[in-house]
Structure 1
Amino acid sequence: MDVLPSARALLATGPLCDNCLGRPFADRSFGLGNGERGRGLRVAAALADDEDFDPGDPHDCWVCEGATARFDEWAERAVEAVEGVEFDTYQVGTRVPPLVEENEVLLREDAGLEPDAGEPLRKEYNREVGKRFGRLTGAEVEFGRPDVQFLLDLDENRVEATVNSAFVYGRYRKLERDIPQTEWPCSDCRGSGRDGADPCPTCDGTGYLYPESVQQLTAPVVEDVMDGVDSVFHGAGREDVDALMLGTGRPFVIEVEEPRRRDVDVERLEADINAFADGKVEVEGLRLCTHGMVERVKRLDASKRYRAEVEFGGDVTAADLTEAVGALEGTTVEQYTPNRVDHRRAAKTRTRTVHDVEGELADPRHAAVEVHGEGGLYIKELISGDEGRTEPSLAGLLGVSATVTALDVLAVEGEDEPFEDEAFFLD
């Protein structure tokens, strides 16, 4: 493109501001702003043609209709929109009026330029307002998932600000039984707590089948400290309601929606949660993390170690138990969806690996069994056989019924790599 003849053609379309004159040449002379490009072309054309210099008034520009004179104003309005909110990163987007978009097309068409020459006003607005916002706040632009995002609606003359969620990673131990991981609304009243005009008899008017959960004992504290509007609990799997979670704990992420605070003392937060949970649940290793950690705790292949207290339907010898656990160790188990969860899980056969098994007989009818297995292995059914739905099983190998009377989870760890990857942490 011969820029000077093209600049003359653009100027011939009507009054233009420097930015709209320079924008079709946005891919030329890296390091210049569109306003600098436009002014340079305007000066060059005046000199070459020996004409009086017309600086051009942005408010008279027939393309942007004065929009390029408002970069500072929009940046200041964006700052006001997130007053009182802590953030380190941001992103700016712009919605340009349809008439201005049409003017941009006509400008290039009338000057004989390609329809996509240079860049659109929308992109320039994102950059110019973004730079100014960064200077005003000290924050850095982030094109992935920033702390705050803005949509500058030039047509409606408003700033739409979005405060993205903050995330806290940690591990929890559940020290009492009959506590679910997440809220468990009552199925009879659907969480309302009412049966007509009376309290629901199933949940005693609480709206929950269980009055407390790991979520309810942890997330409200994080939400309050970060001054958010809501929170979501994400766990790396979940233990049964009647199982304890001990040992190294289970990885989790608490997501706080629309937080006004992000720079929190995680050690103090950890202590606050543990005090609030009052010995029922405790957390450790809290760290601020990215959104990507949610996907990691949900998707990373994990192995788990369990300890089960087992009661047998007939006498079992120590030799019998040693032989049976030896037969299970290292084997691949086929498990059809257990009876106890087939109302909420798809009916299918799953194969899971039993890494190792240890068993110690307390008396001929009772034993403690530790199992290290692939994630998703149903331990109660590995012990009982679940009426033939799990093969092989401890009960099947022993030839007597076997029931888990108590189950503890001792460890939840990544199969091939740890959950705690530094790339996902912010501190």
Structure 2
Amino acid sequence: MTDTDADAVAAGDADTSGEDGDGGDFDDVLAAARALLASGPLCDHCLGRPFAERSFGLGNHERGHGLRVAVALADDTDFEPGAAGDCWVCEGVFERVDEFAERAADAVADYEYATYQVGTRVPPLAEENDRLLREDAGMDPDAGEPLRKELNREVGKRVGQVTGTAVDFDRPHVQFLLDVDADRVEATVNSAHVYGRYRKLERDIPQTEWPCSDCRGSGRQGREACDTCDGSGYLYPESVQQLTAPVVEDVMEGVDSTFHGAGREDVDALMLGTGRPFVIEVDEPRRREIDVRRLESDVNAFADGKVEVEGLRLCSHEMVARVKELDATKRYRAAVEFGADVTEDDLAEAVAELDGATVEQYTPNRVDHRRASMTRTRVAHEVTGELDDARHATVEVHGDGGLYIKELISGDEGRTEPSLAGLLGVDATVTALDVLSVEGEDEAFEQPEFFLEDGRGDGDSDHVASDDGDGDGDEE
């Protein structure tokens, strides 16, 4: 492959099809070239662009130059070079390719990035001229390629040369938009993502920020401080998000961040064992090449024993959807209090009935105000129980994601069938709940293709908003 070919492929050059386009044989090509040249002053790019589908490995400017030479030889006339700055079609825009590339590089000079993409907004008049050029020459209006596509490619190749980075048409770190008419270069710095697992070691900490509903997070009711949140704007002063994301955002020098969790536990539940998968998405990061081990230590120091993270790794944007959508199973440990005495045999029999049972749960009373009213069917894959005394037991459940554990124990006034309370015939209440593990049902969350081992976080222009979803079924 020649250097020209390599540059074309690196920038997504469509000029490598090797297929014949409009124009037929050599005489037809020359006739079309003569007609194009007769339309007015043309640069080599605009002369060659209607033939973009012809001849492997050439740029349009090379096609245009070759056509000028071929016409001059065939007609035995003096050779006239292309009218670069006076082209009636593009009005000399290709003379500004280097300028646009330099301005694009300057726009993100303070950012670390390894991949980019270039788009252009071409003046409507130039696009119309590009169409009329072909029509006036009797060619198909869609012959070759559009002006915008060639400009994208030519500026894109130059940006790569100037910055030493690679084009990425899927999820680049930065995206450039060149508005030719407005003489403006816009740069968008896409998100970076950090994956890990967290353990929540203290109760009464929600996963994400919980703004006060009475003052809508403002901290005030009229001129006075909000009585509900004591003026803080939050129902809970801390969250897993607030104890982790600010550190990641600060290290990557971003402007904002979003916390995405694989479900969520109750506010009053602990998250122990192997922890819960999460992704922190950092907006407009200036730094992407970070030491994730040091970051992990920094986050844990900041969280001060309330939350711990482990296994931090730079990941692709696809990991956000994965932690939110992958089918997962969870293990729980519940401290249970009974309303009447229970024997070991009674507990063993009830637990055996629940073990492997298919459970139908109508939307629990405690979340009915923000969950759709419907019956959900989940499986309690494994249930064990041990009596502490006649009124207290420890029950462990391995269940489907979305299985409401507190209601599996209490029955929720008949909304959950079967339930431990219903099988025992006594009231049963969860007094403390711990989540012990969150794992993929059919495969692990941590698949190699989702991680960026070279330290370069990918970009993401499609920001995924945080939501509370159905979570684990044990969300408050």
TM-score (norm 1): 0.99
**Corresponding residue SS for 2:193:** strand
Q: Which residue of 1 aligns with 2:211?
A: 185
Give, as a single letter, the amino acid of the residue that structure 2 aligns with 1:388.
G
Q: Please give the per-residue CA displacement for 1:251-285, whole angstroms capped at 9, x wherever unaligned.
A: 00000001111111000000000000000001000
1:368, distance to aligned residue in structure 2 (A): 0.4
* Residue aligning to 1:363: 389
Say whether 1:213 aligns with 2:239. Answer: yes
> Which one of 327, 335, 339 corresponds to residue 309 of structure 1?
335
Residue by residue over 1:377-423, the C-alpha shift from the partner in whole angstroms, topping out at 9 and shown as x without a partner, is 00000000000000000000111110000000000000001100111
1:350 equivalent to 2:373? Answer no
- Tell me how far 1:57 sits from its aligned partner: 2.1
Aligned to 1:393: 419
Matches within 5 A, 1:10-409: 10-409=36-435
In 2, Cα distance between the equivalents of 1:56 and 1:27? 21
| CA distances 1:299-346 after superposition (whole Å, capped 9, x unpaired) | 000000000000001111111111111111111100000000011111
Number of matched pairs? 427
CA distance in 2, matches of 1:74, 1:125: 10
Gap regions ≥5 residues in structure 2: 1-22, 454-476
Matches of 1:322 and 1:370 in 2, distance apart?
Answer: 13
Q: For residues 151 and 316 of structure 2, what CA distance do their matches in structure 1 show?
A: 28
State the distance in 1 between where 2:130 and 2:166 align: 30
Determine helix, strand or coil for the equivalent of 1:59.
Answer: coil
Q: Give distance in 2, aligned partners of 1:301 and 1:46.
A: 68
- Aligned letter for 1:117? A
Instruction: Provide the C-alpha distance between the structure 1 equivalents of 2:272 and 2:396, rounded to a whole number of angstroms.
Output: 13
Q: Secondary structure at the match of 1:58?
A: coil
Q: What SS class does the counterpart of residue 182 from structure 1 fall into?
A: coil
Q: Distance in 1 between matches of 2:190 and 2:262?
A: 22
Matched-pair contact (CA < 8 Å) for 2:65–2:82 = no
| SS class of match (1:367) | strand
| Equivalent residue letter for 1:198 | E
Opposite residue 90 of structure 2, the aligned amino acid is: C
Give the drift of 1:138.
1.5
Instruction: Report the 3-state secondary structure (helix = DSSP H, G, I; strand = E; otherwise coil) of the residue aligned with 2:285.
Output: coil
Counterpart in 2 of 1:6?
32
What letter corresponds to residue 422 of structure 2 in structure 1? G
- C-alpha distance in 2, partners of 1:336/1:233? 29
Looking at structure 2, the residues matched to 138 and 248 of structure 1 have their Cα atoms a distance apart, in angstroms, of 41
Stretches of structure 1 that go unaligned for 5 or more consecutive residues are: none
The runs of 4+ residues in structure 1 deviating greater than 2 Å are none
RMSD (Å) for aligned C-alpha atoms: 0.6
Deviation string for 1:134-182 (max 9, x for gaps)? 1111111111111000001001000010000000000000000000000
Is the partner of 2:103 in helix, strand or coil? helix
Q: Is the CA contact (8 Å cut-off) linking 2:261 and 2:324 kept in structure 1?
A: yes
**Normalising by the residue count of structure 2, what TM-score does the alignment of the two structures yield?**
0.89
